[in-house]
Amino acid sequence: MTEPLLSVRDLRVTFDTSEGPFEALRGVSLDVAQDETVAIVGESGSGKSTIAASIHRLLADNGRISGGSIRFEGRELTTLSERELIPLRGAGIGLVPQDPMSNLNPMHTVGAQILEALEVHGRVGGTGNGASGRRRTVELLELVGIPEPELRYDQYPHELSGGMRQRVLIAAGLACEPRLLIADEPTSALDVTVQRRILDTLGELTGRSGTAVVLITHDLALAAERADRVLVMYRGELVEAGPARQILERPEHEYTRRLVAAAPSLATTSLIDVRPAGESIAEPRSAPEPEAFVRLDGVGRSYRMRGAARGEEFWAARDVSFSLSRGRTVSIVGESGSGKSTTAKMLLGLETATEGTIRIGDQDLATLRGRDLLAVRRRIQPVFQNPYASLDPRYTIAQSIAEPLRAHRIGDRRARAARVHELLEQVALPAAVAERLPHELSGGQRQRVAIARALAPEPELVVLDEAVSALDVLVQAQILELLVDLQRRLGLSYLFISHDLAVVNMVSHEVHVMQRGRIVESGTPEQIFTAPRQDYTRELLAAIPGTALAA
């Protein structure tokens, strides 16, 4: 029998924490064949990313492999020195990590960072300025769907959207054509059309060169569509494994059944139209829209792009107009780079609009200064796309959540502590995490902390920029239900920005579709998702993964 490309046996990983040793992996065993795609699914904190870090020998400083074996091409990895691992990382085993801002150097252009991987493994000649290296790097940027790759080559990570930064990581992971690619949530920040393009590229690579793929994801529909086999992780253990269709259509373990039941699709009933037991809905989707208290009128934002011709401007958003009413959810969907996040930043006052006006009640946002601006910011709170970058690594979780309370002088120390624990409970986090630092939590847990922090000062409007994209389906369902419940009880308004159209359908009263900085289609979820007028909207809908779940 042919030996698998990757063989993991009884893997155990332990982290030393302030509360004592914590065993994150407890006897995990798995095999990956040379031309196989294996998906690892499970909730945040289940151990999925720990498997990836263990294989690549990139555990955090407080983590260690405490037992078991990892063999790649017959070679034991757990005993290799750092020097022996260097030629293996990237060329033998490629890695696409989950978070682009933590894994891209802000001091170097994205092109230079991809080129570095090629040079380390001798895939191009020269010192970094050679034409062949630049040409190959531009090809990789184009391969993963980054527009104007020649121009983007010379840009820095902060000049790209979150989705484009993720694509840069994918290009770096593919650069040396590894024999095994570990992709840890590689498309969680990507819209559905780019996601399909990227995963098609990964599939083509697997078929052409025999490269195996370990796909770590919380998206069950994506796992069903792309993987040969699915492995289900729960609390550090592998609880179920088998062919994708079998796992998702005939799950045996209770946890797997819960995952499948929680997976959203366009057929899922809207949460805002579901009547809670014994309660009436404050604002069902069909209710008349109340008076708007936020209005954007012809808003746009332009930038001078690095490498562009003199005087040439790039419009990240142009002529954006819509309104937000109390107790309602307005969603913006579109590809990465379409202008969604730029629009959100202008509304939050983090970017200044180049054109148009933004009014909060009877106040023009552009004219506010000092205390007046601070008062408006209490009313409008953000949840950003990237919890790694939005949480201060030096603050405990309790300090991060209490930060807006201190900034707005809300309550005394005791009241703030009580509010922190109340918010942790609301976002399904145990009270014990309050004294931990962000690096001690998983990506999904960090995003829940970011949501709790936004809710702390009891805002009127919450701007949710891909707020649930990092969450597994069970926690995602809890958070979405929480957001809808808070909207009913408190009259909250949401600007919900997402590339997950199924989630948008569940929570929205109104949807705007953005393409290349402009709104190209608007309507109710029923109008957008059942009778789209624009070809672009139809392309977005056609690219949604989940055929395997729906079949």
CATH code of 461's domain: 3.40.50.300
Q: What are phi and psi of 134, to 5 degrees?
A: -65, -40
Final residue in a domain of this structure, among 152, 175, 198? 175
Question: 449 is written with which tokens?
Answer: 């902390």
Q: Does the predicted model carry a pTM greater than 0.75?
A: no
* Nearest alpha-carbon partner for 200 in 217, 218, 187, 182: 187
Q: Do 167 and 308 lie in a common domain?
A: no
Is 16 in a helix, a strand, or coil?
strand
Residue 205 domain-assigned? no
Residue 277 domain-assigned? no
Is 477 in a helix, a strand, or coil?
helix
Which neighbouring-strand residues pair with 299?
320
Residue 231 domain-assigned? no
Positions of the chain with pLDDT lower than 70, given as ranges: 1, 125-129, 189-190, 205-206, 265-290, 305-311, 470, 546-551
Identify the H or E element spanning 372: helix 370-379
Residue 309 domain-assigned? yes
Q: Per DSSP, which regions of 375-440 are E strands?
A: 380-383
pLDDT of 29: 97
Residue 16 domain-assigned? no
110-120 helix and 131-143 helix, angle to the nearest 10 degrees? 110
Please check whether residue 171 is in contact with residue 84, taking contact to mean a CB–CB distance below 8 angstroms: no
Is 58 in a helix, a strand, or coil?
coil
Please check whether residue 404 is in contact with residue 456, taking contact to mean a CB–CB distance below 8 angstroms: yes
318/244 Cα distance (integer angstroms): 43
Q: Do 327 and 465 lie in a common domain?
A: yes
36/33 Cα distance (integer angstroms): 5
Q: Do 151 and 294 lie in a common domain?
A: no
Please check whether residue 220 is in contact with residue 192, taking contact to mean a CB–CB distance below 8 angstroms: no
C-alpha distances in Å from residue 373, one per residue of 293, 364, 379, 494: 16, 10, 10, 20
**Which amino acid belongs to residue 214?**
V
Residue 141 domain-assigned? yes
Q: Per DSSP, which regions of 137-204 are E strands?
A: 180-184
Residue 54 domain-assigned? no
Question: 416 is written with which tokens?
Answer: 């703030």
Residue 278 domain-assigned? no
Q: How many domains does the chain have?
A: 2
Question: 21 is written with which tokens?
Answer: 């040793």
The residue segments making up the domain with residue 354 are 290-550
Residue 513: alpha-carbon gap to chain centroid = 19
174/518 Cα distance (integer angstroms): 32
Q: Per DSSP, which regions of 4-54 are E strands?
A: 6-17, 20-32, 37-41
Question: 73 is written with which tokens?
Answer: 């091409």
R_g of the chain, CA atoms, integer Å:
23
Q: Do 297 and 170 lie in a common domain?
A: no
Final residue in a domain of this structure, among 155, 175, 195? 175
Question: 256 is written with which tokens?
Answer: 């797997």
In sequence order, the 6+-apart residues with CB closer than 8 A to the CB of 176 are 90, 91, 94, 117, 118, 121, 123
96/64 Cα distance (integer angstroms): 21
Half-sphere exposure of 268 (CA within 13 A, CB side): 23
Final residue in a domain of this structure, among 133, 154, 175? 175
Please check whether residue 26 is in contact with residue 51, taking contact to mean a CB–CB distance below 8 angstroms: no
Pairing status of strand 212-216 against strand 314-325: unpaired
Q: What are phi and psi of 124, to 5 degrees?
A: -140, 155
Is 402 in a helix, a strand, or coil?
helix
Per-residue DSSP letter, 24: E
